[in-house]
Amino acid sequence: MSTDQLVHLLWTGLLETLRMTIPSTLFAYLIGMPLGVLLVVTRQDHIMPAPRFNAVLGTVINFLRSIPFIILLVLLFPVTRVVMGSGIGTRSVIFPLIISAFPYVARMVEGSLNEVDHGILEAAQSMGSTSWQLIRKVLIPEAMPSLVNGAAICMVTILGYTAMASAAGGGGLGTIAIIKGLNMRQSDIMYSASILLVLLVQIMSLAGAYSTKRIDHRNR
């Protein structure tokens, strides 16, 4: 394979990887973020206590989180076909990625929101805030640096899942490394695709860490 062909192959793979990772992360947050908020605020000692609801939600999320992605991919196949119009391909794999990632996102968000000092919430309560104001204007803004950091971690995790998407014809750098590289014994392809994946992970992590530090007003 010529260098040009290799570059073209990797470029296509990179775009496919991003096309799976970015929308999956966004949608996983769209579902996972509200659930993460609910996991925190419905706790007994929090702003909207609903312990029974909290316990049920926690159990469901743990259950979903314990299913390995590759199994979920297979289990969801019929549903994916209905929802995405097709069971295989780069676009279709976004659906199982979202389903697999949102419980993880919910737990991640929960962790970040739990870091917010209870005294700060109490102060806001003592000023007559409604629950919605507490969530939107205090809880989430105060946890923002940690939420951004968590989002970077989630994105990297989803990126890792996309490598397994090759099982459903997902494409991307992972597929290139596994199918063209490993299975067809083209080590140059395997290594270059892997290195590109590693670089992508590094960039995401660094961007996450940098933004986290940048927006945090606690240490100046």
CB 94 within 8 A of CB 84: yes
Using CB under 8 A, pick the residue from 124, 179, 182, 201 that binds another protein: 124
Residue where the block lists tokens 């996309």: 162
Nearer to another protein, 109 or 138 (CB): 138
Based on the shown chain and the rule CB under 8 A, indicate whether residue 125 belongs to the binding site for another protein.
Answer: yes
Nearest partner of 161 among 174, 151, 180, 148, judged by Cα: 174
We find the least distance from the C-beta atom of residue 173 to another protein, in angstroms, to be 36
We find the least distance from the C-beta atom of residue 121 to another protein, in angstroms, to be 9
Nearer to another protein, 133 or 211 (CB): 133
Interface stretch with another protein, choices 2-10, 95-103, 115-123, 186-194 (CB under 8 A):
115-123
Interface stretch with another protein, choices 76-84, 128-136, 154-162, 204-212 (CB under 8 A):
128-136
Q: Which residues contact 132 (CB under 8 A, 6 or more apart)?
A: none
With H, G, I as helix, E, B as strand and everything else as coil, classify residue 98. Answer: helix
**Window 135-174: contact mask with another protein (x via CB under 8 A):** --xx--xx-xx-----------------------------
Based on the shown chain and the rule CB under 8 A, indicate whether residue 120 belongs to the binding site for another protein.
Answer: yes
Gap between the Cα atoms of 101 and 114, Å rounded: 20
With H, G, I as helix, E, B as strand and everything else as coil, classify residue 181. Answer: helix
Residues 191-220 that bind another protein (CB under 8 A): 215-220
Nearest partner of 93 among 111, 76, 115, judged by Cα: 76
CB 218 within 8 A of CB 141: no
Gap between the Cα atoms of 41 and 39, Å rounded: 6
We find the least distance from the C-beta atom of residue 112 to another protein, in angstroms, to be 13
Kindly list the residues in this chain that would bind another protein in the complex (CB under 8 A).
117, 119-120, 122-130, 133, 137-138, 141-142, 144-145, 215-220
